[in-house]
Amino acid sequence: MFFKEIIGQQRLKRKLLESVQNKRVAHAQMLLGTSGAGALPLALAYAQYLACTDRQADDSCGECSSCKRYAKLEHPDLQLIFPKNKTDENEGVKFSSKDFVLRFRKAVLANPYLSLQEWLQELGIENKQGIINVEDSAEVMANLSYKAYEAEYRVIIVWLAEFMNTASANKLLKVLEEPPARTVFLFTSDSTENMLATILSRVQTYRLDRLSTAEVEAGLLEQNEVSEEQAYLVAHLADGDYGLARQLVHEPENVTATVQFFIAWMRACFGMKMDTLAELMDTFQKMGREGQKDLLTQAAGLLRNVLMYRMHPQGSHTMMKEQLEFVQKFSKFISVDNMEGLLTELDKAHYHIERNAHPKILFTDLSYRISALLKQEALR
């Protein structure tokens, strides 16, 4: 992966480049950014630059042996750790990232902006929680007992480090305090809320900027076959998430299904249509934990679009056809007064899903709360 292939993040790219050029490479670093901002591709580009034997001023050379191996994610001094869970193939046995690394390489090479939901779907376990377990930490410790094979730095990338369970995180603590020479841990995370404070205290954290609409649009035009009109629309819908933008381009039916679910849900909440809510509840349960979290996140974004339309109707050209007619009618029930409550309820639901709340009970309770907030505005 090259720095030039990463969308936006110019400030952080320069900082990472300078850290290598000035020989001030921290042994444990955290790249923290919202989904789709590019933490994983940035970690891969940084790792490749660390290993490059002919570093350029602004990128790795792409021609040396190390760069060619990194291009396939097969460098012997690179270790990849990531969330996964039991599948039909490894049921009843211990498992680690090593058992899935070939599939992970393939998925990341196809889409460096891979989301957790897309990865779990690739494994066929979208109904399970992704985890980084103690077996992963044990493998890291075992590999660190050997010297680097050929690169100047040995790199361990931990993708979505917030999914480390307590046993896994505790096992890494000592090595983070006293790492072997020329060893760099690169953690990436969407959120540090669920991470151990002892881990966070041992890493140097870099925050990724949220991608602007213009950056997402430029990235789509440069890296995908889309028209200028489509890139403009998709960039506005993605709201700074380049991974979602790619999905809108390559799998528009999935995003359309989310929009249709949201519309049906809001209508059922407002009219308290119990039959419809029961059907939607079943659909919600079948999405799996990560799918449910994604839906709640996108629902919050769609609600913001509704409020923005109410305040600035001229912005309707940035909406999908599936949205526009609904938004025009629904906007009268969304205002600054009830928006905070709606977003708070969605955030709380997201929090409880992460903690294994029963999806049907949660969805039912959330629907009642949304209904009350919508009617609050209707009665004004």
- Tell me: pLDDT of 281 over 80: yes
Which residue reads 């000592």 in tokens? 174
> 83 near 131, Cβ under 8 Å?
yes
Q: How confident is the model at residue 91 (pLDDT cuts 50, 70, 90)?
A: low
Query: Both 199 and 296 in a single domain?
Result: no
Q: Which of 304, 264, 297 is nearest to 282 (CA)?
A: 264
| pLDDT (tens digit per residue) in 330-346 | 777 787 788 888 899 99
What pLDDT score does 151 carry? 75
Considering the chain, what is the average pLDDT of its residues?
86
Q: Nearest-CA neighbor of 2 among 46, 66, 45?
A: 45
Is there a domain that residue 228 lies in? no
CB 42 within 8 A of CB 16: yes
Both tokens assigned to 224: 């995908």
Q: Indicate whether 292 pLDDT > 80.
A: yes
Q: What is the spatial distance between Cα 350 and Cα 352, in angstroms, rounded to a whole number?
A: 6
Domain containing residue 188: CATH number: 3.40.50.300
Domain span at residue 266 reads 251-378
Does residue 87 share a domain with residue 160? Answer: yes
Q: Which two tokens stand for residue 311?
A: 């305040």
Q: What percent of the chain has pLDDT over 70?
A: 92
Q: Do 341 and 268 share a domain, yes or no?
A: yes
Q: Convert 34-48 to b/e letters by CB count within 10 Å (16 or more is b).
A: bbbbbbbbbbbbbbb
Q: Is the pLDDT of residue 315 over 80?
A: no
Indicate if 261 and 198 belong to the same structural domain: no
For position 296, which CATH number holds?
A: 1.20.272
Q: Output the pLDDT for position 380.
A: 56
Confidence tier at 128 by pLDDT (50, 70, 90) = confident
Contact partners, residue 257, CB within 8 Å, separation at least 6? none
User: What would the mean pLDDT of 146-170 be, rounded to a whole number?
Assistant: 87
- For the chain, the C-alpha Rg in angstroms (whole number) is 22
Is the confidence at residue 251, as pLDDT, over 80? no
How many folded domains does the chain comprise?
2
Q: What is the pTM of this model?
A: 0.81
> Would you mind telling me the total number of residues written for the chain in this entry?
380
Cα–Cα distance, 351 to 353 (Å, whole number): 6
CA distance 329 to 346: 22
